[in-house]
Structure 1
C-alpha cells in the first residue's frame, strides 16, 4: 500500500488502514465478471456447429436471429439499471447487489435448460435484469466505500473485471467449440453460476456503505461501517470528522426536498450538466464500437476470411485485460480527462485505419494490418474509456440523487449497447436487406470516437483527488470543464458556512427530509 501511495504522490499516509476499504470496494468489482462473461460467451456460442444444429436445424444463424439472441440481454439490463435505485435507495447498495445475483441465476437456469431460441431469449432477458441491477449499483458502492486517494483506481477494477470475464468466456468457448452435444452451450452458460455465487457470498459478508446508512439516518451503523472501512476505532477523531462531513453534506442537500428521477434534470445549478456528462460518457463508450468486437468479433473475422477466428478473439481479449492495467494505474496520476482524451484519439486513429485497409484490400498483409490496428483500438479503449467512464459516473453526482443518476447513466450504456447489438448484423452482413458494410463499419465507430474527444474536452470535469463532497463544490464554482484541473477546494461540508446555510434553509421552512 505504501508503494501505491508513493505512486499516486500522496505524501503523508492517510489515517488508519486503507487495506479493508480497498479490498471491499475492489471485491464489488467482481460484478463485472458477470457482465463480461455473458457478453463474451454469446459471440462464440452462435458460431458453434452443434449450437446451429440444436437451435437452427444445422444452418448458420441469420442476421435477424443473431441480432435478437445477442441484443435481448441488453433489453433486460436496461430495465434492470432503471429499477436499481428502488433497491439501492430503499434496502441498500449491498442488498441490491444480492438481489441482482439472484435474478441473474434464475436467468442462467432458464438458458441452461432451454433448447429453443425462445427459451434462450427469455433466459437472457431475465439474466439481463440481474446484470443491469448489478452494473448500476457496483460503481455506486465502490465510490462510496473507497478512500478518496485511490477511488478512481478501485472503480476502474470494475471494468478490469469485465475484461477478465470476456477473456474467460473466449477461452471457454475455444475449449468447447468442437463438442457434439449440448455441452457446447450449456457448459459456458452454466459456468456463470460460479461468478454469481462468489459475488453473492462476498457481498453477504461485506458491510453497507456509510453514506447509505447516513441516508437512512442510522448514524451509529454509519459510524461502524466507516470505522471498519478505515480500520480505525469507532470513536476515532478521523472517523467522527469524515462522518460529520458526509452527514452535513447530505442534510444540506436534503434541505431542498426529497429526490425523484425528475430531480436528476432539475433546472439551476449543475445537475443537468452532470447528467448530460454521465449519460453522454456511457453512450459514447458503447458507440466506440468495442462491443462489436466482443459480440460479433468471432463471426466478423471469420466472414472477412481470417482463419482461426476463435484464437483471434482470445488474443484481443488478452489485450483488453492487460491494457486495462495502465488505466487503473494512471487514473489517479494523470487524471480522468487526460486519459479520456488520449483514449479517444487512439481509438479514432485505429478505427479509421481498420476501415481504410478493409476498403482497399483483403490480402493476407491487409488482414494482418487490420488485426494489428484492431489490437491498438482495443488497447486504447481498455486504458481509457473502458474503466474511466465508470469512474466519472460513480463520482460526479450529489448523494441525494446519486443512485438514480448513476442508474440513468448505466441505462444509457445498456440502451446503446442494445441498439448496437441489434443493428450490427444488419449493418455488417451481406444478403437481402443488409448493408454489407463489413470492415467499413469502422468508419462509423471512428466517427463517434472523434466526437468523444471533443465531448471530453468540453464536458468532463477533472475530479482526481477530490472527496465526493468536494466534487459538488467543484461543479458549483467552475463553469468550464477545461479549467476544472485547477480547482482547489475551499471548505468542508461540516464547517460553519454550510451549517449556517442549512439552518437558514430550515428557518425559511424549506422542506427538510433526511
Structure 2
C-alpha cells in the first residue's frame, strides 16, 4: 500500500499542555483522509469481479468456474483499469508539495477532495470504459494529493509528544478504508443492475464530504502561516491547537522555535535533486538510495496483488465466495497493523523489516506452489491457500506496511528532506503502477498457459473418469468380468 504516513516538519512542541484534547482530536481527524484513500484503492478488487460491471464493460465468454457470470474483460483492459489509479496518484503526490506551499495544507486537502469527487462522479456515471478510466485518473490525482498533504498537516500541527501516534493513525485509517470497501462490495455484488458497482463507487462522495467539510473548521498549519509571514494568524492557529491564549508564553516560545527552524532551513539554501545523490560524510547518496529502494521493495512484496486482484484470484482458485474471503483478509490487515505500530519502537525498524521479509517470502512460496498444483475442487487446498494469504498479510501489516514509511521519514537531513522524500514516495507509486499493470498479463488464463492446461486436464480427467465408469457398468452387468480382468 502506498501513501503511508511520513513524519516531517515541526509539530507543536513539548510545551503544549497534555490536556489539549481538542487540538489532538483536530489533527487526528485529518487521518480520515486515509479512509478515503484506502477505500478508493480497495474498490477495484470487488468491482472487476461484479457480474453487472463485467457485462457492462466486458465481452461475453463461456461460463466457467473462473467466469461464472459469462462475461469478462481482457488482460489489457484489466491492467489499465487497475493501474491507471496509481499513474494518477504518482503525479498527484508530486503536486502535493507545491499545492500545500501555495494555498496551504488545509485548503490543499479540501482541493484534493474536490478533484477526487470529480473522478468519483465520472466513474459512477460511466457505462463506457473510456469514461471509467478517465474517472480513475482524476480520483488518483486526488488520492495522491491527499497522501502527501495529510501527513504533512498532521506532523506540523500535532503535539510533539503524541505526533507519532497521530500520524500513524493515517496509515491505520488506510487499512480501515480497504476493509470498508470489501464489506460494501460484498453487500452489493449480486444486485442485478448498475447499482451493484455504482453504490460501491458513490459511497466515496460521503468520505470526501466528511473530510472536506471537517477541514473547513480546522486551523491551518502554524508553520505554513509563519512561512508566509502571517504571524498573527499563526498565533491564532496555535492557540486553537494547544487550548492556550494566543499571547500565552508557551505559544510564543513555540512560534519562536518554528521561526528558528525555518531560518535554519533558509541558511542551508536550496538543494537540487542532484544533491541527493552526492556522496559525502553524511552519506546522503546512501540514504537516498535506501529510501528509494525500501519503498520499491515494499511494493515488490506483492501486497497490492491481494488488494487489487484478491477477489479475482480467489475466484479463479475455485473459492465459492471470494468477496467474503476478501473481507476476512482486510480484517487481518486492519488489526495486524496495530502490533506494528507498537513494535516499531520496542523491537526496532531493521529487525521487524527482516522478520517480515522472511515471513512473507515463506508464505509466497507456499501460495505459489499450492496455487499451481491443486485442483479448483480441492477444498483442503483452498483452505490452506486462504490461511497462507492471511498469514502473509499479517506479516506485511505488522512490518513492511507501516515501517517502510517510518524509515524514510527519519533518515534524510533537513536540506534535502523534501526532495529525497518525494523521490522515495514517487518510487513507491511507480512500482505500484508497474505491478498493477503487469499482473493481469502474468496470472490470467490464456490458451496454452500452464493454468489453463491444468484446469483443462483436471476437467478432462473428471470427464474421462465419468465416461469410463459409464462404460464399465454395463460390462459388469452382462458378463461379470471387469476390464482389468479382460486385459
TM-score band, normalised by shorter chain:
0.7 to 0.9
Deviation at 1:186, TM superposition (A): 0.9
- 8 Å contact from structure 1 (residues 85, 404) kept in 2: no
Which structure 2 residues correspond to residues 421-436 of structure 1 after superposition, within 5 A?
A: 421-431=436-446
Q: Note closer, same or farther for the CA distance 1:433–1:159 as it changes in structure 2 (3 Å cut).
A: farther
- 8 Å contact from structure 1 (residues 150, 332) kept in 2: no
> How far apart, in 2, do the equivalents of 1:335 and 1:25 lie?
26
Q: Please name the residue that 2:384 is paired with.
A: 369
Residues 1:164 and 2:179 aligned together: no
> How far apart, in 2, do the equivalents of 1:277 and 1:198 lie?
37
> How far apart, in 2, do the equivalents of 1:57 and 1:437 lie?
19
- 8 Å contact from structure 1 (residues 351, 377) kept in 2: yes
- 8 Å contact from structure 1 (residues 152, 331) kept in 2: no
Q: Note closer, same or farther for the CA distance 1:239–1:350 as it changes in structure 2 (3 Å cut).
A: farther
Find the residue that maps to 2:359 and give its secondary structure. Answer: helix
Residues 1:42 and 2:44 aligned together: yes
Deviates more, 1:203-212 or 1:69-78: 203-212
Q: Please name the residue that 1:145 is paired with.
A: 157
Residues 1:411 and 2:423 aligned together: no
Which structure 2 residues correspond to residues 485-500 of structure 1 after superposition, within 5 A?
A: none
> How far apart, in 2, do the equivalents of 1:333 and 1:218 lie?
41
Q: Select the residue among 67, 84, 107 that pairs with 2:96.
A: 84
> How far apart, in 2, do the equivalents of 1:99 and 1:346 lie?
40
Deviation at 1:292, TM superposition (A): 0.3
- 8 Å contact from structure 2 (residues 119, 135) kept in 1: yes
For structure 1, the residue ranges without an aligned partner over 5 or more in a row are: 1-11, 439-514
Q: Please name the residue that 2:324 is paired with.
A: 311
Residues 1:344 and 2:357 aligned together: yes
Deviation at 1:16, TM superposition (A): 4.2
Deviations 1:327-384 (A, max 9, x none): 2333444454444343333322322332333355443222222211211111121122
**Under a length normalisation based on structure 2, what TM-score does the superposition of the two structures give?**
0.80
Residues 1:286 and 2:288 aligned together: no
Deviations 1:71-123 (A, max 9, x none): 11111111111111110122222221111111000111111111111110011
RMSD: 2.7
- 8 Å contact from structure 1 (residues 36, 166) kept in 2: yes
Which structure 2 residues correspond to residues 295-310 of structure 1 after superposition, within 5 A?
A: 295-310=308-323
> How far apart, in 2, do the equivalents of 1:273 and 1:203 lie?
38
Deviates more, 1:226-235 or 1:41-50: 226-235
Deviation at 1:394, TM superposition (A): 4.1
Q: Select the residue among 54, 57, 70 that pairs with 2:56.
A: 54
**Under a length normalisation based on structure 1, what TM-score does the superposition of the two structures give?**
0.76
- 8 Å contact from structure 1 (residues 72, 125) kept in 2: yes
Q: Note closer, same or farther for the CA distance 1:402–1:215 as it changes in structure 2 (3 Å cut).
A: farther
Find the residue that maps to 1:255 and give its secondary structure. Answer: helix
Residues 1:204 and 2:216 aligned together: yes
Q: Note closer, same or farther for the CA distance 1:99–1:275 as it changes in structure 2 (3 Å cut).
A: farther
> How far apart, in 1, do the equivalents of 2:393 and 2:258 lie?
38
- 8 Å contact from structure 1 (residues 343, 385) kept in 2: yes
Deviation at 1:396, TM superposition (A): 4.5
Deviation at 1:22, TM superposition (A): 2.9
> How far apart, in 2, do the equivalents of 1:127 and 1:79 lie?
12
Which structure 2 residues correspond to residues 435-446 of structure 1 after superposition, within 5 A?
A: none
> How far apart, in 2, do the equivalents of 1:330 and 1:54 lie?
46
Residue-pair matches, total: 428
Q: Note closer, same or farther for the CA distance 1:273–1:223 as it changes in structure 2 (3 Å cut).
A: farther
Q: Select the residue among 64, 80, 84 that pairs with 1:68.
A: 80
Deviation at 1:419, TM superposition (A): 0.6
Deviations 1:393-440 (A, max 9, x none): 4455556655544433332221111111100111111215978599xx
> How far apart, in 2, do the equivalents of 1:283 and 1:25 lie?
29
- 8 Å contact from structure 1 (residues 331, 339) kept in 2: yes
> How far apart, in 1, do the equivalents of 2:290 and 2:163 lie?
19
Deviation at 1:267, TM superposition (A): 5.9
> How far apart, in 1, do the equivalents of 2:450 and 2:406 lie?
36
Q: Please name the residue that 1:326 is paired with.
A: 339
For structure 2, the residue ranges without an aligned partner over 5 or more in a row are: 1-13, 61-70, 454-487
Q: Note closer, same or farther for the CA distance 1:105–1:394 as it changes in structure 2 (3 Å cut).
A: farther
Residues 1:126 and 2:138 aligned together: yes
Q: Note closer, same or farther for the CA distance 1:329–1:277 as it changes in structure 2 (3 Å cut).
A: same
- 8 Å contact from structure 1 (residues 140, 406) kept in 2: no
- 8 Å contact from structure 1 (residues 143, 395) kept in 2: no
Q: Note closer, same or farther for the CA distance 1:157–1:78 as it changes in structure 2 (3 Å cut).
A: same
